[in-house]
Chain A
Amino acid sequence: MTKAKTALVIGGGHNGLICATYLAQAGCQVQLVERRDTVGGGAALHHFGEGYSVPALAQMHHPLHPKIAKELKLDAPAPAPASAIIALSREGQHLYLGENGATGTGLSAEDQVAYIAFKQEFGAYAKALGALYLNTAPRLKDFDLADGTVLAKLGWQLRFGLGRDAMREFLRVGGMNVYDILNEKFASPALKGALAAQAVLGNHVGPRTPTTALNYLYARFQELQGPASHGTQIADHLRDAASDAGVSITTGVAVEQIMVSDGVATGASLSDGRVIEADIVVSNADAKATFLNLVGPAQLDAMLTHRISKTRTNGDVSKVNLALDSAPDFAGLNADDLRHRMMIAPDMRYVERAFNASKYGEISQAPVLDIACPSAVNGALAPAGHHVLSINVSFTPYRLKQGWDEGRAVVLQKVLDILEDYSPGIGAKVVASEVLSPVDIEAQYGITGGHWHHGEMSIDQGFMMRPVHGTAQYQTPIEGLFLCGAAAHPGGGITGLPGRNAARRILAKAAR
């Protein structure tokens, strides 16, 4: 590739914005095209009802990796205050699961000690895996120097960062399910339920699914970046950074086709009829959308097309937004507690049973609820005195037997019924509500299957096989076309790493 001068970034999710900013700061002329009216993707702000706003999808997230702020010379946002996961209890005996310890009525001293040790142990594993998350996943074939360096770093981290005994333990637990791991460590059902829910949320797995230890480690890696906050500001922050770097942003226009000539991406045609030519095309859309819709199978090898079409991308999480005319009232929680991440997952069997339903195309009888109250921190999100709740509801499968036309009302009713148990009277406070099923998320955010991570996070779809082998390393079989979104390594959530790693890959290639 000759030195690239112009780049087109398809999609202005946080990863697209970050990738565009890296490229622009490196001297590329970058255009970013976003099909929605605002940038941010899952991290954008979403308005509903009259005068209510919530984070579009990522209701709470940990800070971007500090390297991103440093490398892009962004003003780091003010650090958020320490945050916790609250394991909600019907009886008001809530547990507070923080970075440095767990408290709550009825939590035994043993569990409290074990919790600290567990967070440290899994923190160390997640840190060791950071060598992998922060870099292009190495190829196993046609290995180059950079690939070797990443593996060496990973090996070094695992062996010497962890030490021999910890490394042995890591190799033991890495392939395990969180159900067994948490049962080894703890007695409290509520504690285990909340941690298990945190591990499995967003993927089509239950606590007893093998390798869910890795899903927990991915969540743990995000926690290591700092306390979680509500996803209401990051989109503006990253948009401004991109604009400052010279990225030209167009919203309300979709890319319809990536143009390919003789195996080389040359640009894209847009829904407004325009054609943008570029030396480099970077897609923030998921792999199926990028390859099957925007590039098209006619430009791709058959087996690769098949592999992409077979990736598991059906989402299980619906988003329910509620507008309340007054503050929600959970017995035993004070007003300040509402800024934490509140989880309804009373024990691991509850989570496993909730998952079972989704295997058969049904909405869980008793779904896991992951609840945020962003208005507790940011009064601008609701009229004075009013509040918003943003709730991730799992499991609610994309392919729903009864169909989503009926399913939406079922999900809303289940959420209200469960909430009523934990916060009696809350139903009467609801003045507006909204259900985004995985099917709606697909339609509104362009994410195939409405999947949290743009595709299941599992060993066979992870690392050097993310999204599929042959397209890993952000590169694609189409020369000049790259992936920069959650479908690429290391995956979804608000981390900025796919965007950053992709930009570094692109720039490294251009420099050659």
Chain B
Amino acid sequence: MTMEKPAMHNFAQVLEPSPFHDRIVAHTLTQNWAEWNGYQTVRVADTVASEYFAVRSSCSVMDLTPMEKYRITGPDALDFLNRLVTRDISKLKPGRVMYAVWCNDKGKVIDDGTIFHLAPGDYRLCAQHHQLDWLLLSSIGFDVTIAKETADIAALSVQGPTAYSVLAAAGAKGLEGLKPFGIIETEMAGIKLTISRTGFTGDLGYELWTDPDNALAMWDAIFAIKHKGLLDVRLIGLDALEMVRIEAGFIMPGWDFNTAENVVRADHDRSPFELGLDWIVKFDKPYFTGKKALLEERARPARRRLVKLSLEGNRVPSGSFLFDRKDGTNVGSVVAHMWSPILKTALAYGDVELTKGALPDQLWAEIYYQKELKWRLAWAKCTVHSAPFWQHERRSKTPPLTS
């Protein structure tokens, strides 16, 4: 185990600028910033609508640098990761990426993230939240080196139907053969970088990883395509990402559910089963943290579930309670919601209590809304979805579709 001495807090500049900061500032017309893992991050660069449609109909660029990144190496790297997460990492081949969650001893989810198998025995874990303490704690007895490399890598997420065309035009080599969840070491406009075909949009998209010294050159190579008038490229912020990730069916730890180890009240944390992540819990692999608890949980009828909902009507269920019928019994509440421009419907994630392991026959959202400052109540019937609300075939076709 190695630990770096943490940098001193800089009181003059509380939020860190990312290596792309100079360019981001120039593209951020609203100066609408947010904090993400200590970085100054764009919430909205221009308008949410234009950014959303950049993802859905052209090419969007988002600064991924603040995403927590950890490098995991050493003889026990695989065993360590396999004991950490609920999926079987022995199935993750070099050059591939896997989505995973990790749990505490009680089988409650601490965070989710992606694991990159960069080279044999050399892994990168990307997580929404700071995880170094949990990783170090989990490393007792394993011969691994865990290094936080968040600030050592500049990363951009390039997503949208024309993402491939933009990157190819910018000079990225070898993308045509890159399959979803694949990684290549390549070059773009003379810059060495790593490109993975990953993202949170349910569409074609890539994530680009490079040395911070290359950050501005990498940015410029991509935006040159826009400046030449070839294809549109737009900077997007967290608000647009929040929309597309809901459409694409991704959950956000800390927003859609309380992350374990941060919860104060009993039963306010969530297991992978309760989040609908059954598909990534593998019991036919070596022991992992929470396995015993999850086996016990699975043996009992499920008590609650995070479900994807679409709603009748045109109102969004902001903070709504959910009921088993109109004016019926409260069975849960909405934890994320949006109006989906592309699907033309209201979408939500609901945290719903089950009865004997089953959802109620019906789900209704109680929606409070205002008309010229006057509050009104409406009921909207919900439909439960098991698949992501939106997923384009572009997401999985190789070579990528270029329209």
Contact = CB atoms under 8 A, between A and B. Distances in A.
Interface of A: 260, 263, 292, 296-306, 309, 470, 477
A297 B137 CA distance: 11
Contact of A305 (B134, B141, B290, B291): B141
Contacts of A309: 140-141
A299 B140 CA distance: 12
Nearest to B76: A298
B79 A305 contact: no
Given A304-B105, A305-B140, A298 B289 contact: no
Given A298-B286, A301-B289, A301-B293, 8 more contacts: A297-B140, A298-B287, A301-B291, A302-B83, A302-B104, A303-B105, A303-B137, A470-B105
B84 interface: yes
B287 A299 contact: yes
Contacts of A302: 83-84, 104-105, 134, 137-138, 140, 289
B277 to A, nearest CB: 19
Contact of B104 (A292, A296, A297, A303): A303
A297 B141 CA distance: 6
A80 to B, nearest CB: 44
Highest count of chain B CB atoms <10 Å: which of A296, A303, A309, A477: A303
Nearest to B102: A302
Contact of A306 (B140, B290, B293, B295): B140
A404 B292 CA distance: 42
Contacts of B79: 298
B83 A297 contact: yes
B243 to A, nearest CB: 35
A266 to B, nearest CB: 14
B142 interface: yes
A298 B289 CA distance: 9
Interface residues of B, number: 19
B141 A292 contact: yes
Highest count of chain B CB atoms <10 Å: which of A263, A297, A306, A470: A297
Contacts of A305: 138, 140-141
Interface of B: 79, 83-84, 104-105, 134, 137-138, 140-142, 286-287, 289-293, 295
B137 A301 contact: no
13 contacts: A263-B295, A296-B141, A297-B83, A298-B83, A298-B141, A301-B292, A302-B134, A302-B137, A303-B104, A305-B140, A309-B140, A309-B141, A477-B292
A296 to B, nearest CB: 6
Report whether over half of chain A's contact residues are helix, strand or loop; otherwise say mixed: helix
B105 A301 contact: yes
Contact of B287 (A263, A306, A470): A263
A47 to B, nearest CB: 36
A274 B40 CA distance: 60
A263 B291 contact: yes
Contacts of B141: 292, 296-298, 305, 309
Contacts of A299: 287
B140 to A, nearest CB: 5
A198 B290 CA distance: 43
A305 B286 CA distance: 16
The 5 closest A-B pairs by CB, nearest first: A297-B141, A301-B105, A302-B138, A302-B289, A303-B105
A292 to B, nearest CB: 6
Contacts of A470: 105
B342 to A, nearest CB: 41
Contacts of A301: 104-105, 289-293
Contacts of B293: 301
A303 B295 CA distance: 18
Given A298-B79, A300-B287, A263 B105 contact: no
Nearest to A308: B140
Nearest to B284: A262
Contacts of B105: 301-304, 470
A264 to B, nearest CB: 11
Contacts of A306: 137, 140
Nearest to A293: B141
A298 B138 CA distance: 10
